[in-house]
A and B are shown apart, each in its own frame.
Chain A
């Protein structure tokens, strides 16, 4: 009976998620971290960049974890454009390049100012590619304008800050190890999936990374703190809904709890059987 119900579980899950998706927002559910200190650190770092900063965006999320970071990434990029920043996108992984390409196409559809965006393409070689980036940046022939000229002339030195969108294959650690020692005092900030946080946290504590949005809760707190005005169209059209997330987590808790309970009962029965023998 239980096994039959388990076979139907994916269908039940889909129906439950579809119903939860339609439920209105509830005050007792919140995705945002109660303590906005992490989000505040990101805002303070961006405040210190000055007017019209040039930001190098190392865009290397992976398909598996991008769903977790995507709302925060889009909000942060929209916030940078709202601050009149100019963004140069470079990727060092194939998945990162694919996602960067999709995001750049999305910028185009959202009618973002093209003079503030620069596609620096894909550099193979991961860490070797990062080292190469510090020696000079090649701008594709199709890219023109003042921003492209500044980057061609100044290389990585033309940028006032580095934003790393990390993933499983390449994250802030590689940037801090390979790029930071070669370019001097340029602030690094990052958005990463939670799985990278343990390896990234020491860099935040040491100051090598000025700010990191590394959990969904910190990302949600940061998004709540933003006022993007007209550039709201560049951010995610809809915030992640907490009800489907809650339903999924409760199902996970129920399934894991049932399995653990069954395992504990088995252990107890086995212990009693040994005592009886």
Chain B
């Protein structure tokens, strides 16, 4: 089903922002500013709604005794502690020492530890994917194997050679694939945007 109002809105906002970038005009700038402010408010609202939804979901999990009660409790305690530290009377918000301690002493180390665990879990996943005997998985793991060898931090001539090959592989084959993907995503985004602007839906294909 077509939505002419939404399409018109997208066209107007898009043209307004492009015009503001190209033309120096105070009124146009103020109008574009209102649109940008609205986008920021929507993003902030979405972020708050996301946190609210997460909290509500975990409360419902505990209430209905489903899922992992320990994890749900930790999530709720975490949200609560951070809110109390940042919003209690006399707190200076994110600059408050209590908030900074929670971040520096708990959030950052816990986050780093979780990502550190990826070392073990990724190796396990690589082994399991090879056990499935898929060609793609074999290629992926072989590429990871070679890349890891290239990144071994040796000094001297061997280290220089490894570093040179690693730099080349990053700039040429990996860079080419990565940029190819980005260009593909960009083209698809442009096509989708054009279809939205023109009010074209699946029914028009």
Interface on A for B, CB 8 Å cutoff? Answer: 6, 9-10, 13, 27-31, 33-35, 63-67, 94, 97-99, 101-102, 104-106, 119, 121-126, 128-129, 131-132, 135, 142, 181-182, 194, 197-199, 201-202, 215, 217, 242, 245-246, 248-253, 255-257, 259-260, 262-263, 266
Report the interface size for chain B: residues with CB under 8 A from the other chain.
62
Q: How far is the CA of A28 from the CA of B124 in the complex (A)?
A: 30
Q: Is there a chain A Cβ closer than 8 Å to B163's Cβ?
A: yes
Q: How far is the CA of A183 from the CA of B45 in the complex (A)?
A: 28
Task: Flag if B99 contacts A64 (CB, 8 Å).
Answer: no
The majority secondary structure among interface residues of chain A is helix
Task: Flag if B36 contacts A30 (CB, 8 Å).
Answer: no
Q: How far is the CA of A174 from the CA of B95 in the complex (A)?
A: 26
Q: Is there a chain A Cβ closer than 8 Å to B174's Cβ?
A: yes
Known contacts A35-B163, A106-B104, A253-B152, then 6 further A-B pairs from the complex at CB < 8 Å, ordered by chain A residue: A28-B156, A29-B155, A102-B108, A124-B44, A124-B47, A132-B40
Task: Flag if B36 contacts A94 (CB, 8 Å).
Answer: no
Q: How far is the CB of B141 from chain A (nearest CB, A)?
A: 6
* B39 and chain A: residue at smallest CB distance: A128
The majority secondary structure among interface residues of chain B is helix
* A130 and chain B: residue at smallest CB distance: B36
What are the residues of chain A within 8 A of B91 when measuring CB–CB? none
* Cross-chain contact of A260 among B92, B141, B154 (Cβ < 8 A): B141
Q: How far is the CA of A104 from the CA of B95 in the complex (A)?
A: 9
* B138 and chain A: residue at smallest CB distance: A263
Q: Is there a chain A Cβ closer than 8 Å to B182's Cβ?
A: yes
In the complex, which of the residues A142, A182, A198, A263 has the most CB atoms of chain B within 10 Å of its own CB atom? Answer: A198
What are the residues of chain B within 8 A of A102 when measuring CB–CB? 100, 103-104, 108
What are the residues of chain A within 8 A of B163 when measuring CB–CB? 33-35, 217
Task: Answer whether A30 and B43 are a contact pair too, CB < 8 Å, given A135-B33, A198-B179, A201-B175.
Answer: no
Q: Is there a chain A Cβ closer than 8 Å to B133's Cβ?
A: yes
Q: How far is the CA of A142 from the CA of B116 in the complex (A)?
A: 37
- 25 interchain pairs (CB within 8 A)? A13-B120, A28-B156, A29-B154, A67-B115, A99-B108, A102-B103, A105-B97, A106-B104, A121-B94, A125-B43, A126-B43, A129-B40, A142-B95, A197-B175, A198-B174, A198-B175, A199-B178, A199-B182, A215-B167, A217-B166, A248-B119, A256-B144, A256-B145, A259-B126, A260-B142
* B145 and chain A: residue at smallest CB distance: A256
> Which B residues between 105 and 157 are near A, CB-CB below 8 angstroms?
107-108, 111-112, 114-116, 118-120, 123-124, 126-127, 130, 133, 138, 141-142, 144-145, 148-149, 151-156
Task: Flag if A252 contacts B142 (CB, 8 Å).
Answer: no
* Cross-chain contact of B153 among A35, A66, A198, A246 (Cβ < 8 A): A246
Q: How far is the CA of A256 from the CA of B148 in the complex (A)?
A: 10
Q: Is there a chain A Cβ closer than 8 Å to B188's Cβ?
A: no
In the complex, which of the residues B138, B155, B164 has the most CB atoms of chain A within 10 Å of its own CB atom? Answer: B155
* Cross-chain contact of A263 among B47, B116, B130, B144 (Cβ < 8 A): B130
What are the residues of chain A within 8 A of B43 when measuring CB–CB? 124-126, 128-129
* B112 and chain A: residue at smallest CB distance: A67
Q: How far is the CA of A215 from the CA of B39 in the complex (A)?
A: 34
Task: Flag if B155 contacts A28 (CB, 8 Å).
Answer: yes
What are the residues of chain A within 8 A of B159 when measuring CB–CB? 30, 34
